[in-house]
Amino acid sequence: MQTKIEKISPLSALAVNNIQEVSQNGVDFLSFREKLSFANISRMDKKVEWKGARVAIKSALDCISIPYPGFFKDEHGKSHPMDGFGYVSLSHTRGIAAAIFHKEMPVGIDLDYIREKVIRLGPKFLDPVEMDFLNNDPELYTVAWSAKESIFKCQGRRGISLKSNILLEPFSLQDKVIKGKVYQSEHSDHFYQVKVEKENDIVLTYTIW
Ligand SMILES: CC(C)(COP(=O)(O)OP(=O)(O)OC[C@H]1O[C@@H](n2cnc3c(N)ncnc32)[C@H](O)[C@@H]1OP(=O)(O)O)[C@@H](O)C(=O)NCCC(=O)NCCS
């Protein structure tokens, strides 16, 4: 997937990085705590992915003229701006990283490679109703997986199950926006829209408002 920085609205921006391309970028912009976290990652592949996601969020923030605030993780693993203003989401995988920021609304972003093995995982993250319209297609399964991960990250709480608490409306490979909801017996439903982008064997999804 090509490196890009996109202003979604005056309130929101995203960036996708080819990790190789940003490997020479410095990390001076990170907060003291983030520099410590970065120093403590021992695996080099994980380290470059982590940095790729932070370089991506810095680019997205630059695009809407917001100074880098530094981010901390809550007890669920979700990142929040240190200054308490706005919402962020990050994703990184082999060779590629992405980040999204919104000044006012929670966001979720996810990157995945399309792989045959996602079909085998289907029963772990899909409702039978969803499997009916996904037709054992690895690309559709990957989009469903990624969309659910984006919704999961947007809501942020660990106890939510992709299979039992997140349901997608039927969609096809032509659809650029997918609708889904988080449903739980004790709460009212929350509805989400997820933008889908594909390039070669990579799927990028992110929540939109
Ligand atoms: C947390 C989770 C969403 C991370 O996704 P992933 O595909 O492993 O990794 P990604 O690179 O896309 O995303 C990693 C980023 O997610 C963010 N993240 C972690 N926990 C999060 C949470 N609870 N909410 C929002 N974002 C979270 C972090 O920023 C992390 O990056 P960092 O560690 O560099 O800060 C995922 O591991 C998860 O728990 N998924 C849902 C649970 C589930 O049901 N899984 C199995 C079903 S078969």
SS3 annotation, 84-143: CCCEEEEEEECCEEEEEEECCCCCCEEEEECCCCHHHHHHHHCCHHHHHHHCCCHHHHHH
Report CA(162)–ligand 1 centroid distance (Å).
12
103 shares its domain with 141: no
High-pLDDT (> 70) share of the chain, %: 100
Residues 8 and 103 grouped into a single domain: yes
Are 93 and 127 in a shared domain?
no
Kindly state whether residues 118 and 194 are assigned to the same domain.
yes
Q: Among 107, 127, 149, which residue terminates a domain?
A: 107
Task: For residue 11, give the amino acid letter.
Answer: L
Which residues fall within 8 angstroms of residue 20, CB to CB, at 6 or more apart? 95
Residue 25 has pLDDT above 90, yes or no: no
For residue 166, report the distance from its CA to the centre of ligand 1, in Å: 15
57-78 residue pLDDT tens? 999 999 999 999 999 999 999 9
| CB distance 159 to ligand 1 below 6 Å | no
Q: Residue 10 in 3-state DSSP?
A: coil
Q: Of 73, 90, 107, which closes a domain?
A: 107
User: Of 56, 91, 107, which residue sits at a domain end?
Assistant: 107
User: Could you tell me the CATH number of the domain that includes residue 66?
Assistant: 3.90.470.20
Identify the pLDDT of residue 10.
Answer: 94
Q: Are the C-beta atoms of 55 and 92 separated by less than 8 Å? A: no
Q: What is the value of pTM for the model shown?
A: 0.97
Pocket test for ligand 1, best of 19, 124, 152, 207 (most atoms within 8 A of CB): 152
Other CB atoms closer than 10 Å to residue 46's CB: what's the count?
Answer: 11
Query: Does residue 131 share a domain with residue 95?
Result: no
Domain count, the chain: 2
72 and 116 fall within a common domain: no
Q: Which residue has the higher pLDDT, 2 or 91?
A: 91
Domain extent for 162: 111-208
Q: Is the CB of 46 under 6 A from ligand 1?
A: no
pLDDT digits (tens, 9 = 90+) for 142-192: 999 999 999 999 999 999 999 999 999 999 999 999 999 999 877 789 999
Same domain, 84 and 134: no
pLDDT for res 2: 87
As a residue count, the chain comes to 209
In this structure, are 50 and 121 located in the same domain?
no
